[in-house]
Amino acid sequence: MTKAYHIKTAALALLIGVGAASTSFADSNRVSISQFGRDHSIGASQGGQYNRLNVFQRGHSNLSIHTQDGRRNSVSVEQSGRMNDAVTGQIGRNNRSVTGQSGRYNNSVTTQSGRCNIAGVAQFGRNNTADVDQAGKCNAVGVIQTGNGNHATSRQSGRGNVSVIVQD
């Protein structure tokens, strides 16, 4: 975990309010949060219409922070274990982000802007980091990491780009 990542996470947390806080603005946005264990934190903010956020956290001290603005964006997160962080920011339309983390000290940051972008991150083990950034239309990225100490970064802009990262 880098110092810059912690600063970025802390700044975002302050902006949208961490603690099991959620805010939905405009029409038909939905937030579903399920937490089991202790000391989890969630911050969520949605603007626009028909955006969806589903978060499931089990274990303890997992952090989940998500912002969406636009129309028909969705985020699904499932974290189990300890001290895993998932951060998502989406702006635009029909963007999809799915994050699954199991283990300890895993970090995932996904940012998407534009339309019809898809991102999937799965991390198992300890001290894995995934950083996904997509801008444009109809881009897709998939990250699967198992084991310990893996780091993946994907940056895409434009249209129709595909990135697949698998590490062990």
| C-alpha span between 168 and 31 (Å, rounded) | 33
| Residue among 22, 14, 18 nearest 39 (CA) | 18
pLDDT at position 41: 95
pLDDT band at 17 (very low <50, low <70, confident <90, very high): very low
pTM of the entire predicted model: 0.84
Q: Among the residues of the chain, which ranges form H helices?
A: 3-16
d(CA 56, CA 36): 8
Which of the 8 DSSP states describes residue 17?
Answer: -
Q: What is the mean pLDDT of the chain?
A: 89
- pLDDT tens column, 109-164: 999 999 999 999 999 999 999 999 999 999 999 999 999 999 999 999 999 999 99
Task: Evaluate the CA torsion angle 134, 140, 144, 150 in order and state its sign.
Answer: negative
pLDDT over 80 at 25, yes or no: no
Rg of the chain in Å (alpha carbons):
15
Check residue 7 and give its pLDDT.
Answer: 39
Q: How do residues 99-120 score in pLDDT, each as one tens digit?
A: 999 999 999 999 999 999 999 9
